[in-house]
Structures are given as structure tokens and as C-alpha cells.
A = this chain, B = another copy of it.
Amino acid sequence: MTESGENKLMYYFKKWSDISEDDETIILSAFETTSIKRKKDLLVTGDVCQYLYFITSGCLRSYYVDEKGVEHIYQIRMDNNWISDLESFFSQRPSKYYIEALEDSQLLRISTERLEQLYTQVPKLERYFRILFQKAYINALERLNATMWESAVDRYNNMLKEHPDMFQRVPLVYIASYLGITPESLSRIRKKK
């Protein structure tokens, strides 16, 4: 496990939940490092998502493929974020999604059993994850409202403001899909500026 990897992970744990030295050691030992090459899959449809991943560095997308074979991206995540298919991870049922690396990435991962164990060993972690999911849920509702009621142009502008970094690192095809539009539409929106 790289030094910087550990530190970033702990930073976010400590931010919301007060963790002792001992707890810190226990937590760190529960995670393992992995890395993944650009274009490789971390998860494929039909598999059970075995891990919850923390992205130390890099960039990944999660998407599903509809009956017509079209990919729909619902998440793009970069450094210092969690990624997983939570539904599959927590239910241990086959996933409907793919998770693919858009850049060579460094990850920390933890399995369901190990995480459950960790909750028992360090009950304060429940608080961290409670707040994490609380925030994630609030964000998801915001994004839902935006996709339902705002125009593609507004969503694009908003994304440009909120995640300017993504435009540096992620191909526009993927950003278009994340915004819920076609690459052609995104291209037209950008032209108008």
C-alpha cells in the first residue's frame, strides 16, 4: 500500500468520524491495494461486485448496456472517490453494470465480509459511511432533478462549473452519456458557445 494512498483514505475517514491511532491501524489493514490499466474492467455485468473501491489515483466509469447494445454511463469517478456497484456489493447478487478504467488507476479495496467485520471492530465507521451515503443520496436527488427538469445546455454548463477537471481527462463521448445526451448533441451545444 502506498503511503499517499493510505493517507488520502484516512483523511476522509477522520474528517467525519473521530478515529483513534489503534482504529486507524485496524482500518488500514482491512484494505488491499490494486491497480488497473486503462480500458480494463474492474467489474463486468453478471458478476457479483466483490469489493468497494477507493480510487487513490486515476479515473473510472460505470455504465450499463441496454437491449440495443448502447452503453449508458451513470458514473464517472476520479481520485479520492469511492466506486463500486453498491447494489450488487451489498446484496451479493449479479451486477447489471460494468466498471471500466478510463486511465491507469490505483485503488484500495475491501470485501463485503471484511467491511462487515470492520464495522464490528470500529463501530465509529458506521458514522462515516452513514454521512457518506447521506451526501451521495442528496447529490443523486439533485442530479435527478437536473436531468428531469433542466435542459441539456444547462446541465452541460453546470458540469463545466462543477467538474472542470473531467473535461481535461475524460473523452467527450463519455461526458455526453453521463449528461444523458448523444455526443452529437454535446458537440452542437459546445459549438454554440
Give A residues with C-beta under 8 Å from B: 64, 66, 72, 74-75, 86-87, 90, 119, 123, 126-127, 129-130, 133-134, 136-138, 140-145, 147-149, 180
Contact = CB atoms under 8 A, between A and B. Distances in A.
B149 A72 contact: yes
Nearest to A141: B140
Interface of chain A, main secondary structure: helix
B90 A149 contact: no
B138 A144 contact: no
A192 to B, nearest CB: 21
A28 to B, nearest CB: 21
Given A133-B133, A133-B136, 19 more contacts: A64-B145, A72-B148, A74-B144, A74-B148, A75-B141, A87-B138, A87-B142, A90-B138, A119-B127, A123-B123, A123-B126, A126-B126, A126-B127, A130-B133, A136-B137, A137-B137, A140-B140, A143-B144, A148-B180
A140 B144 contact: yes
Contacts of A136: 133, 137
B86 A149 contact: no
Given A145-B64, A147-B148, A148-B147, A86 B134 contact: yes
